[in-house]
Structure 1
């Protein structure tokens, strides 16, 4: 019996990695002008950003129970165990829905294991966790040990990101109006992180150059040996600044395994513009 890694579309990974390791992606729903689109199926991230540039205000909703049921049932019928690595449970109900559907499928297929693990993360941070899990499975590591590792990585994955504007986060309820007000008054670049699965404001910095320098300082403070781990970068339609960030991390000896555009789910809530870096803060035992 093989074990399949499943993620949702709040996870950002290069297509070649998803394809090589047969990582299945469950779609969140994107709502634009009273139309609902399945992320990555009915709408691509470039189309989402184009709509936002036109002034449209998209919304998201979690993976549907039907999509969970189809994915879990298909794998169960094929005799596959599943590990669903979810978008942060503090930011979405997808983890809880996955748990409810998994119980239903396990009751029907008694010999199949379906495990739901909260990545406490999103974007390339979840991607790093899923990729590392897939590498272990490829090496023949047991399902139980892989789940143990996923939980460890979820506790130690770092997100450091800079946005052009806090307005989308406030609109989506991901950050307080007070923090938004302060940011707008000062005309600053907010630097944020994720702590225990929730988005937190780290610092307010004037100017993109200073903000990137502050991000690099945080990377140096929070990471273990950058030469010995996977580091990912993501951007919200701002490849130029993402490449600047990549170059500065490489100057520290860091190995960047991907530079990805932030997908539709987080693009809706973060807005256009901004960059992020993702890494582990502690070496594995």
Structure 2
């Protein structure tokens, strides 16, 4: 029985990891100025996006979930003939229509799956589940990596869903935004007033960089620093501390909205690499996808890990 994992393009994972484990990417549409991108984590498309500097000042960027009909067609063509069971994990439902559209598409897919498989000469039934990950970006990537580790254990789809949802309750995320005013403007367009104009103004005027930390999408400022480098180093120190204390899964997920040269120069990254290696923890380091970069802003950093209850220490 072949089980496949589907994630949407808000999920940040290294391209090699996606390819190695055969993870299927459910695309989103990104619209920047007069250009439209299909964000399916194609590394060439992502590289072109960064190279053009499309998130620079003055660019208007929006993301749009595939419709239920588009997702249905994609699943019937690419998923149903190739898997017996499909697990689809979406970005938190409060931040996108993807979960709703994928759930609607799933119901339509199940009505046609048998005929599609028969036409393709594939025996056996097809079934799938759509799961709200409750996560964003690196957090969603961490959950996907954990799900991959479960797929070879022979769990039923309901047991698998239970384990994934239980694990998601212990996923912690840190975000270092590069530009608070960018996040505020993105939030304003969505009707989200969680980032006030005053905070954005002070961050820009006084060069204050906050660290946003918490579980899943329930996060709050955990520290304020005088520079982005200082904030990043605190996040790396936090991750090192948690790795040494023991994680619930031997994985740390880190995505960055910048060039690989800038990523490699991040303060504290080498130390985090060393500690992860010493404790047999896999560091999933990736460049933010187009969707994540639009949401958080270029130059931002997002880290995620799974651990018991704790306080932020950087």
TM > 0.5 between the two? yes
For 1:13-40, what per-residue CA distance to the aligned partner results, in whole angstroms no more than 9, with x for missing partners? 2222222221100111110223322113
Aligned to 2:298: 272
Alpha-carbon spacing, 1:227–1:76, altered in 2? closer, same or farther (3 Å): closer
Provide the C-alpha distance between the structure 1 equivalents of 2:249 and 2:131, rounded to a whole number of angstroms.
Answer: 25
Further displaced range: 131-140 or 258-267: 131-140
Gaps of 5+ in 1: none
Which shows bigger deviation, 37-46 or 253-262?
Answer: 37-46
**Deviation of 1:160 (Å):** 0.8
For residues 43 and 150 of structure 2, the distance between their equivalents in structure 1, rounded to whole angstroms, comes to 32
The answer to whether the 8 Å contact 1:238/1:275 transfers is no
2:273 corresponds to 1:247:
no
Q: How does 1:1-285 map to 2 (within 5 A)?
A: 1-40=1-40, 44-49=45-50, 50-53=53-56, 55-74=58-77, 75-78=79-82, 80-109=84-113, 111-173=125-187, 175-178=194-197, 179-198=199-218, 200-216=220-236, 218-219=238-239, 224-226=245-247, 229-237=250-258, 239=260, 240=262, 243-250=266-273, 252=275, 253=278, 255-282=281-308
Q: 1:156 to 1:63 in 2, by over 3 A?
A: farther
For the residue of structure 2 that corresponds to 1:97, the secondary structure is helix
Distance in structure 1 (CA, Å) of the matches to 2:247 and 2:153:
24
- Number of residue pairs matched by the alignment: 283
Quote how far apart the aligned CAs of 1:166 are: 1.2
Q: Any idea what SS the aligned residue of 1:170 has?
A: helix
Q: Indicate the SS of the match to 1:67.
A: helix
The answer on whether the counterparts of 2:248 and 2:307 sit within 8 Å (CA) in structure 1 is: no
Distance 1:31 1:69 in 2: 22
Further displaced range: 70-79 or 27-36: 70-79
The answer on whether the counterparts of 1:91 and 1:197 sit within 8 Å (CA) in structure 2 is no
Question: Following the alignment from structure 1 to structure 2, what is the Cα–Cα distance between the partners of residues 56 and 4?
Answer: 37
1:227–1:134 distance in 2 versus 1, CA, 3 Å: closer
Q: Give the distance between the partners of 1:2 and 1:228, measured in 2 at CA.
A: 24
State the TM-score, normalizing by the size of structure 2: 0.78
- Kindly state the Cα deviation for residue 176 of structure 1 after the two structures are TM-superposed: 2.2
Question: Is the 8 Å Cα contact of residues 95 and 118 (structure 1) preserved in structure 2?
Answer: yes
In 1: Cα distance, 2:43 partner to 2:29 partner: 9
Tell me the TM-score normalized by structure 1: 0.85
| SS of corresponding position for 1:131 | helix
CA distance in 2, matches of 1:23, 1:93: 21
Q: Is the 8 A contact 1:76 1:112 kept in 2?
A: yes
**Alpha-carbon contact 2:13-2:255 (below 8 Å) kept:** no
The answer on whether the counterparts of 2:249 and 2:306 sit within 8 Å (CA) in structure 1 is no
What are the superposed Cα offsets for residues 47-103 of structure 1, whole Å, 9 maximum, x if unpaired? 323222474232111133233112332333456221101012121111111111112
Question: RMSD of the TM alignment (CA)?
Answer: 2.9
In structure 1, C-alpha distance between the alignment counterparts of 2:214 and 2:101, rounded to whole Å: 22
TM superposition shift of 1:139: 4.0
Question: Do 1:165 and 1:190's aligned partners in 2 also have CA atoms closer than 8 Å?
Answer: no
Can you list the C-alpha shifts for 1:96-151, whole angstroms capped at 9, x where unaligned?
11111112222444753221111111223212221221232134333333222211
Whose Rg is larger? 2
